[in-house]
């Protein structure tokens, strides 16, 4: 029987590093075709068993972070990825991003793809369908296996892992208070369906601000946008009416920008007839006329913090208990809620 060959012995034979041999056997393009060919032929001849390599690889870190986001069209998720990416680079990690497209099935398939040895840990914002159906088995499986996992923005409180959120209740409370301070009496809320946690938390902040200012809640001013219907048509039903609200709080920038266009079409002056403010991490608000006030979501910061929590978890450098970091959003007051006195 031939002598049992190891990576180390092959490396010594060729006068190269173990890492070069490992890469050559994995057919890496970093190694020249000729060297790869010679190393592979040698390994084959000595019947090299990659078990030891496989084991070594499995225990080795990949230095890659996996990220799963529901969609990429909202600028918010782009800024989060940017934040994750910048922090990860500094710490020597690569980032791989997959989209769930709001689908439970796609989310599970991304989980299987990424946790199959490709990444050291996952940063995830939960898909709409997963939240709607409350199907969290795939998360529970990872957690049971001590696989590093950080949830951000769209989270589930029952899952035992690190989390980063913004203070959605506080942000909506601040914004509603600001509208009350400038004299608004009939503040409409443009929000999402209730199963989107961020939408329902922002509604909570809105209700809390009204109550603490002694303003009675008018349920007819709370509009839950259905993402499967035409957005502008739904917003028209709120604004293009005989007695429109005198202020609008929108849970995202697209709702706010459409409300602004709709109010102007209706002949309303912003902010005197109707003041508008929206949650945002985007660029649209700066360029509308008047520019839109907003509750700044700090997507970039959220990404950085999520990456920091994850890398601490991977490298066992953070606290042992799971963390829930809460980012305080601040108001950026622009002309859409700025009354001249």
Cα angle vertex 101, ends 125, 123, to 5°? 25
Which phi and psi (to 5°) does residue 213 adopt? -105, 10
**Which region among 21-29, 181-189, 209-217, 331-339 touches a copy of itself (by CB under 8 A)?**
21-29
What's the rounded Cα separation, in Å, for the pair 19 and 10?
11
What residues numbered 196-255 form the site for a copy of itself, per CB under 8 A?
254
Contact pick of 3, 15, 73, 340 for a copy of itself (by CB under 8 A)? 73
Using an 8 Å Cβ cutoff, are 301 and 252 in contact?
no
Is 79 a residue that touches a copy of itself (CB under 8 A)?
A: yes
Is 262 a residue that touches a copy of itself (CB under 8 A)?
A: no
β-bridge partners, 150:
123, 162
Contact pick of 58, 316, 320, 341 for a copy of itself (by CB under 8 A)? 58
**Which region among 208-216, 258-266, 316-324, 331-339 touches a copy of itself (by CB under 8 A)?**
258-266
What's the rounded Cα separation, in Å, for the pair 61 and 181?
53
Is 134 a residue that touches a copy of itself (CB under 8 A)?
A: no
Is 82 a residue that touches a copy of itself (CB under 8 A)?
A: yes
Tokens for 121, please give them. 């840990």
Is 109 a residue that touches a copy of itself (CB under 8 A)?
A: yes
**Which region among 26-34, 156-164, 244-252, 313-321 touches a copy of itself (by CB under 8 A)?**
26-34
Contact pick of 81, 248, 294, 310 for a copy of itself (by CB under 8 A)? 81
Burial 265-282 (b: 16+ CB within 10 A, else e): eeebebbeebbbbbbbbb
What number of chain residues touch a copy of itself (CB under 8 A)?
58
What's the rounded Cα separation, in Å, for the pair 12 and 169?
62
Is 319 a residue that touches a copy of itself (CB under 8 A)?
A: no
**Beta carbons within 10 angstroms of residue 289's beta carbon:** 11
What's the rounded Cα separation, in Å, for the pair 7 and 19?
9
Cα angle vertex 238, ends 216, 74, to 5°? 105
**Which region among 149-157, 166-174, 178-186, 278-286 touches a copy of itself (by CB under 8 A)?**
278-286
Tokens for 280, please give them. 């945002």
Residues that bind a copy of itself (CB under 8 A): 26-30, 33, 49-51, 54, 58, 64, 71-73, 75, 78-79, 81-82, 85-86, 89, 94-99, 101, 106, 109-113, 115-118, 138, 141-142, 144-145, 147, 254, 257, 260-261, 264, 282-284, 286-289
């Amino acid at each position: 029987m031939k002598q049992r060959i190891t990576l180390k012995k092959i490396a010594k034979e060729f006068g190269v590093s173990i890492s070069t041999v490992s890469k050559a056997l994995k057919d890496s393009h970093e190694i020249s075709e000729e060297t790869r060919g010679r190393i592979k032929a040698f390994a084959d001849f000595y019947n090299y068993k990659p078990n030891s390599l496989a084991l070594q690889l499995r225990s080795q870190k990949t230095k890659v972070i996996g990220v799963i986001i529901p969609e990429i069209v909202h600028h918010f998720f782009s800024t989060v990825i940017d934040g994750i990416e910048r922090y990860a680079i500094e710490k020597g990690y690569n980032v791989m991003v997959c989209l769930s497209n709001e689908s439970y099935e796609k989310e599970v398939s991304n989980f299987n793809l990424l946790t199959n040895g490709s990444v050291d840990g996952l940063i995830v914002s939960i898909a709409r369908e997963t939240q709607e159906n409350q199907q969290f088995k795939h998360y529970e499986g990872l957690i049971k296996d001590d696989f590093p996992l950080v949830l951000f923005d769209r989270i589930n409180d029952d899952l035992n892992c690190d989390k980063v959120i913004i203070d959605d209740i506080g942000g909506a409370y601040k914004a509603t208070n600001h509208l009350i301070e400038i004299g608004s009496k009939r503040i409409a809320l443009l929000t999402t369906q209730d199963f989107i946690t961020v939408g329902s938390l922002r509604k909570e902040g809105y209700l809390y601000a009204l109550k603490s200012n002694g303003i009675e809640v008018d349920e007819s001013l709370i509009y839950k946008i259905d993402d499967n219907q035409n957005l502008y048509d739904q917003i028209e039903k709120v604004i293009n009416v005989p007695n429109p609200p005198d202020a609008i709080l929108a849970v995202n920038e697209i709702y706010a920008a459409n409300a602004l266009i709709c109010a102007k079409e209706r002949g309303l002056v912003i902010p005197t007839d109707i003041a508008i403010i929206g949650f945002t991490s985007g660029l649209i608000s700066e360029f509308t006329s008047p520019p839109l006030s907003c509750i700044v979501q700090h997507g970039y910061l959220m990404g950085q913090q999520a990456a920091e929590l994850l890398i601490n978890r991977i490298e066992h450098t953070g606290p042992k208990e799971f963390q829930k970091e809460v980012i305080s959003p601040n108001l950026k007051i622009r002309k859409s809620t700025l009354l001249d006195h």
